[in-house]
Amino acid sequence: MIYLELFLTFFMIGAVTFGGGYAMLPMIQEQVALHWGDIISGEMLVDFVAVSESTPGPFAVNMATYVGSAVGGQDGGAWLGVFGSFCATLGVVLPSFIVILIVAKCYDRFRQSRVVKGCMSGLKPAVVGLIADAVLSVAVTVFFHAGVRVAVFTQAAFYVSAGIFAVMVVLAFKKVHPILIICLSAAVGIAAGYLGLWG
């Protein structure tokens, strides 16, 4: 039952990711590879991170909706895709909804709780380590398009990717808007494509 699987997987993702935004990426990468690796490749996921960056709304909801529609609609049924999106999105939203309802009722006790503070002192740095791993696997997808091989270093594509990456890192740290960064990268990608540099 693929819809129940979507719901439960995203429920779990929503329940254990603290910090919001990209904190969810490591979990999503892992679970998608585990359950639906044959439908959604690592590259498709990175592409969708770009789409998610360029559209409004929370990252988690965007990713859940996308994965749900790709997995649910894999046999070509558009409405099944919509239902898949619904299951995944409901799953990812429900844990924080429930937790906040409980917290809103007994806020002061939650705020002073030593248990919560203690757990968070371990979770916050751990999330940084987890995202570092997620970034590493995205880097492998970007630079080692066709698998990790030494031959990659002799191909133009590697240096085009590295060039785009280097320039965009500088722009990102200069607080250039993410959408502009994505559009510029796309433009360079298209130009490189018609020059035959992607190989």
Partner 1 sequence: MRASKLWRLFAAFFRIGAFTFGGGIAMIPLIQKEAVENYKWVTDDDVMEILAIAESTPGPIAINAATFVGYRACGVWGSVFATLGVVLPSFLLILVLSFVLQQFQALQVVQFAFRGIRAGVLALLIKSLWTMYKKSPKGGFAYVAMGAAFILTAVLNVNVIFVIIGCGIFGLLSARHLERSAGK
Return the structure tokens found at 126.
């751990």
CA distance 72 to 83: 7
Tokens of residue 39, six digits: 């439908």
How far apart (Å, rounded) are the C-alpha atoms in residues 69 and 48? Answer: 12
CB of 162 to partner 1, least distance (A): 8
Q: Are 3 and 83 in contact (CB under 8 A)?
A: yes
Complex with partner 1: residue 6 or 70, whichever CB lies closer: 70
Q: Kindly state the tokens that stand for 159.
A: 């240096």
Our CB check for partner 1 shows the closer of 5 and 185 to be 185
Are 45 and 32 in contact by the 8 Å Cβ rule? The answer is yes
Position 152, amino acid = V
Q: Which structure tokens are listed for 90?
A: 């409901």
Tokens of 94: 């429900």
Give 4 or 176: the residue with its C-beta nearer to partner 1. Answer: 176
CB nearer to partner 1: give 4 or 172.
Answer: 172
Which structure tokens are listed for 107?
Answer: 């806020």
CB of 42 to partner 1, least distance (A): 10
Q: Give the residue carrying structure tokens 């280097």.
A: 166
Q: How far is the CB of 10 from partner 1 (least distance, A)?
A: 11
User: Which residue lies nearer to partner 1 by CB, 4 or 107?
Assistant: 107
| C-alpha torsion sign, points 95, 27, 109, 111 | negative
Minimum distance from CB of 153 to partner 1 (Å)? 16
Measured from the CB of residue 67, what is the shortest distance to partner 1 in angstroms?
A: 9
